[in-house]
Chain A
Amino acid sequence: MASVAVPDRQWIARGVERTSASRFATLLAPWFLLLAFGLYSAYLCLRYGLNQTNMDNRFPFGLWIFLDLAIIALGAGAFFTGFLVYILKMKELKPVLNTAVVVGFICYSGAVGILGIDVGQPLRSWFTFWHPNTHSMLTEVCFCITCYLVVLLLEYIPVLLRNRQLRRVPSFLIFEHRFHMLVPVLAGVGTLLSFFHQGSLGGLYGVLRGRPFAFREGFAIWPSTFFLFILSAIAAGPSFLLLISSLVEKITARRLVDTAVLRRLGFISGILTAVYVVAKSVDTLEWLNVTSPALGFAPWEHYAYKPFGTWLMLAEIVLFGLVPAGMLLHPKTASRRGWLIAGAGLVCCGILLNRFTMTIQTLALPTLAFDEFLSYVPSWQEVASFGAVIAYGVIVYSVSYRYLPLFPREKKEVNHVSGR
C-alpha cells in the first residue's frame, strides 16, 4: 500500500479538467469563513439559549422554520428525480440524478442541522420517537425526515464510492456495485417517505384551528395544505435542479447537461406548477368563502395589514405560479435555456413565498380582538446560522463536483460553454 499521500490530481477522475488544488482552496475560503461564523452563531444559540434569536412568544416560528420548509421543498428534486428515473423509467433524466442526490442530501442535512438548534432542548429529540403522538403532523415530519435523511445518505454513498481513488479499493467497488442494484428500492422508499413528509409539513399549518389564516379543511385527517405542499414541492424540485445545474455550468464554464434534459425538467416542473396553480386557486377560493368565515373571519380581513396585502396572494399564484408555468410550457420559451432558467427561478421564488406566508404571515396576524398585527425581524445569529447551511452546501457540492463524477456527459466530451 502507498505510504505516500496520493496527489490531488489522482483523486480527480481521468479525462476531466479541474482547477488546481490551491485555486480551489482559495475559491472555497470565503465559504469556510461563512461556515465558521455561522457555526459560531449556532454555538451562541446552543450555549445561551434561543434569546439569541428575535423569536418570541408571538413568533415562536421564525426565519429558521421558514427557510427549513423552503429548502426541504427545494430538495424534493432528489426524491422526485429518483422516482422519475427508477420507478417511471425516465432514463433521459439520469444525467442530473447525481446532482439531485447531492443537492437533496445537502438540503436535508442542512435542515436537520438547523432544526437541532431551533428546538429548545435538542438532546430530547429522541423523545418524539419514544413517545410519538400520531395525531401530530410534526411527529410524522420527524419520523419521515429522519428516515429520509438516512435514505439520502445511503444514496450518496455510492456516488462517493465512485471517486477514482475509492474505486481502487475492491471492497468499495464491489459494495458500490451491489448497492447500486438496490437503489431503486431506496428510490421507492424515498418517494413514499417524501410524499408523506412534504405533505405533513403543509399539514403542520393546515390543522391549526386557532389560526384561521392557515387552517384548511381537507380529506380525512389531511388538510388541503397537505396536498398543496406536495404539489408545490414536486413542482419546485425539478426547477431547483435546473437552476443548480445551470449555475454549475456557468461557474465551471462547461456544458454539463444537454439542453434536452433541462427542457424535460422544465416541462415537468411547468406541468406540475400549472396543476398547483389550479389546485391552489380552488383551495384559496374555498378558504376565502367557506373555511375562514366558518371560523369567524371575513374573507379579506387577513389581508388588511400592510405590507401583507392581497398582492402577496396574487404574487404567489400569478407571478410565481401562472407566469413560470407558461414560460416552462410554451414552445417558444421552453426551448431556450434563458427562459427555462428564468421560469425555474420564479417557481422556486414561489416556494419561498408560499412557505413564508404560511409561517410568518400566519403568526403575524392577530387572532384575538385585542391582538395587534406584529412584525419580526430575524437576528444576525439566525441569519448567520442559516448562512452556515448555505456555505456547507456550497462546500459539499463543490467538493463533490471536483472529486466525484457527478455529470456523466463531462467525461464523454470536454467542451466549453464560453470561450474561457
Chain B
Amino acid sequence: MKTRRYGMVIDLDRCTGCGGCMVACAAENNVPPSSPRATVRTGLTPMRVQPVSNGAAGAARREVFMPLMCMQCEHETPCVSVCPQQAVEVDKATGIVTQMPQRCLGCRYCMTACPYHARYFNWQDPEWPAGMEHSLNPGVATRMRGVVEKCNLCHARLHSAEDKAAARKTSEIDPGDYVPACVASCPTNAILFGDLADPGSAVAQAAKSPQSFRLLEKLGTEPKVHYRSNRPWVRALADGRPGATQEVQRG
C-alpha cells in the first residue's frame, strides 16, 4: 500500500455550528456520557466545535464555528516525543497520529504539549446507562478511566476499509470506504477528507488554495488539518495573538 498522508480541509464558510460532527464522533468512538460532575473543561470531545467571534460588539460582531480535533501534526509531533512509554506514534503508512489507551499511563504530559488542546483525559470511570451498551460501536474499544484519548481519524473505519480491500484482493483501499464519522455526518459537507499525498485528490488541492490556513503554523508542527475561509478575519485566527478574540465556551 502506498504511503498516505490523511488530512482534512474544513470549510469554515460552510460550517453552521450544528454540532452533528460532535455527536457522530461520540457515537462512533464510544465516548461515554458525561458524569454529573463533569465540567466544560473535563468533558470528552475528540471533535469539538468552537464558536469564535471577531471580538467586535453589536452590529460589527461576526462569528465563525471552528471544528477542532487532533491536527495530526507531521513534523516534530509534540505529543509523540513526550510520551514516556511510546503510547503515541505517527503511523508511517497513513500519517495518522495514533494513541494506545492500553499503554497510556495517564501522566497527561502529551496534553501539556499539545498546543491545540486536542487531547482529552478520562477523568472518571466511563458509565453507560442501562441499555445504552447496545448502541456501542463494536469496532472501537472503550477506554478506561485515567487515560488520554483523542481523534484518530476513525481508525476503526480505516481498518474496515482495509479489510474490504483485502477481501477484494487489492492493496489500495477505496477512498469511498474510509470516511470518518464527522465527515460523513456533516450536512453541509464542510469537512473535506482524503490523502494529502495524492496530488490529484480534492483535499490536496484545497489545501494549496490561498484561502487555506493552518493553526499556529509558526510553531512548525505541520498540522494536516487545514481550514479555509474567504473571510480575512477568520484566516487571521491562524496565528492571531492568543486570547485575542472573546469567545464563549460551548458546553
Contact of A121 among B112, B113, B146, B245 (CB under 8 A): B146
Q: Are B108 and A61 in contact (CB under 8 A)?
A: yes
- Please tell me if A128 contacts chain B, counting CB pairs below 8 Å: yes
Q: Are B84 and A57 in contact (CB under 8 A)?
A: no
- Please tell me if A133 contacts chain B, counting CB pairs below 8 Å: yes
Closest to B118 in A: A57
- Please tell me if B91 contacts chain A, counting CB pairs below 8 Å: no
| Distance A363 CA – B117 CA, assembled complex (angstroms) | 11
| Distance A305 CA – B113 CA, assembled complex (angstroms) | 21
Q: Are A210 and B114 in contact (CB under 8 A)?
A: yes
- Please tell me if A336 contacts chain B, counting CB pairs below 8 Å: no
Given A128-B105, A138-B82, verify A56-B41 contact (CB < 8 Å). Answer: yes
| Distance A305 CA – B244 CA, assembled complex (angstroms) | 12
Q: Are B112 and A49 in contact (CB under 8 A)?
A: no
| Distance A52 CA – B133 CA, assembled complex (angstroms) | 26
Which A residues from 274 to 319 make CB contacts under 8 A with B? 294-298, 301, 305
Stretch of A7-15, A169-177, A366-374 that contacts chain B: A366-374
A136 CB contacts on chain B under 8 angstroms: 81-84, 109
Chain B interface residue bracket vs A: 35 or more
Contact of B113 among A55, A142, A208 (CB under 8 A): A208
| Distance A5 CA – B35 CA, assembled complex (angstroms) | 54
| Distance A127 CA – B147 CA, assembled complex (angstroms) | 13
**Residue with the greatest number of chain B CB neighbours at <10 A, chosen from A49, A60, A137, A138:** A60
| Distance A204 CA – B39 CA, assembled complex (angstroms) | 28
Q: Are B247 and A58 in contact (CB under 8 A)?
A: no
1/0 per residue, CB under 8 A from A, across B13-47: the answer is: 00000000000000000000001011101110000
Q: Are B218 and A295 in contact (CB under 8 A)?
A: yes
Closest to A125 in B: B105
By secondary structure, the B interface counts as loop
A298 CB contacts on chain B under 8 angstroms: 241
Interface size on A, residues (CB 8 A): 55
- Please tell me if B205 contacts chain A, counting CB pairs below 8 Å: no
- Please tell me if B144 contacts chain A, counting CB pairs below 8 Å: yes
Given A120-B146, A135-B81, A136-B83, verify A370-B66 contact (CB < 8 Å). Answer: yes
Q: Are B84 and A133 in contact (CB under 8 A)?
A: yes
Q: Are B145 and A366 in contact (CB under 8 A)?
A: no
1/0 per residue, CB under 8 A from A, across B210-249: the answer is: 0000011011110000000000000011111111110101
**Residue with the greatest number of chain B CB neighbours at <10 A, chosen from A128, A369, A372:** A369
Given A368-B242, A369-B237, A370-B247, verify A121-B147 contact (CB < 8 Å). Answer: yes
**Residue with the greatest number of chain A CB neighbours at <10 A, chosen from B104, B108, B119, B216:** B108
Q: Can you offer 13 A-B residue contacts whose CB atoms are under 8 A?
A: A48-B125, A50-B121, A124-B103, A139-B84, A139-B85, A209-B115, A209-B219, A210-B115, A211-B115, A301-B242, A367-B117, A369-B242, A370-B50
Please report A residues at the B interface, Cβ cutoff 8 Å.
48-51, 55-61, 118-121, 124-125, 127-128, 130-133, 135-139, 142, 204, 207-212, 294-298, 301, 305, 362-363, 365-374
Q: Enumerate the 6 nearest inter-chain pairs by beta-carbon distance, A residue then B residue, closest first.
A: A120-B106, A120-B146, A210-B115, A369-B240, A296-B218, A60-B108
Other 10 A-B pairs with CB < 8 A, given A61-B112, A133-B85, A369-B241: A49-B122, A57-B121, A59-B41, A133-B81, A136-B109, A210-B113, A297-B242, A370-B52, A370-B66, A370-B247
